[in-house]
Amino acid sequence: MGILSGNPKDEPMHYGEVFGAWMYITAAKGMVAGHQTHLNHAGDEDLRKILEETIQASQQEIKQIETLLKDNGVGLPPTPPERPKASLEQIPAGARFQDPEIAAALSGEIAAGLVSCSKMIGESTREDIAMMFGQFHTQKAALGAKILRLNKEKGWLVPPPTHYSKIDD
């Protein structure tokens, strides 16, 4: 049996796992605050539902990672305060985020989260940590598919230029 062949939870976290989990939770906490703000600005009900689902998923991830870090004696990053709920009508039109902007930002954040999860999966030597980030990755991929579908349905998707290769015979 090797040094890391017992119960993964009994194995120490290596520096990369600690740093990656700590940075992931820091970003997740910031994104929850940002999504709460976007929720105040969103007018489209379908977009609001995806934002709420994203907030709930992120809060669950945060709880799991906080438990992991606490169990391994790692201090936690600060948590931004909850954003108060605001009425969309009280936000001046020129100061509001527009629904397509919110959807585009959410798409980008989900894509960045997928990369972060993949990085943690690849760097982890503890199977439990790799599996946890694998679970997060799967959830983010599902959310990414939902926001892509919404962007297409609402006409908010701005695709990159299409390239056609013409081969002369």
Residue at 8 is within a domain = no
CATH number, position 36: 1.20.1260.10
The predicted-structure confidence for 78-120, as pLDDT tens digits, reads as follows 999 999 999 989 999 899 999 999 999 999 999 999 999 999 9
Residue at 165 is within a domain = no
Residue at 5 is within a domain = no
Backbone angles phi, psi at 36, to 5 degrees: -65, -40
Domain that holds residue 50: 13-84+97-154
The predicted-structure confidence for 11-24, as pLDDT tens digits, reads as follows 899 999 999 999 99
Residue at 143 is within a domain = yes
Looking at the 3D structure of the chain, how many domains does it have? 1
**138 CA to centre of own chain:** 11
Collapse the DSSP code of 74 into the 3-class scheme (helix H, G, I; strand E, B; otherwise coil) and give the result.
coil
Residue at 166 is within a domain = no
Residue at 91 is within a domain = no
> What's the pLDDT band for 5 if we cut at 50, 70, 90?
low
> What's the pLDDT band for 36 if we cut at 50, 70, 90?
very high
Residue at 164 is within a domain = no
**What pLDDT was estimated at residue 1?**
39
Q: pTM of the entire structure?
A: 0.89
The residue assigned the tokens 């390239």 is 163
Rounded to an integer, the average pLDDT of 26-40 is: 97
Residue at 4 is within a domain = no
| Nearest CA among 130, 112, 91 for reference residue 9 | 130
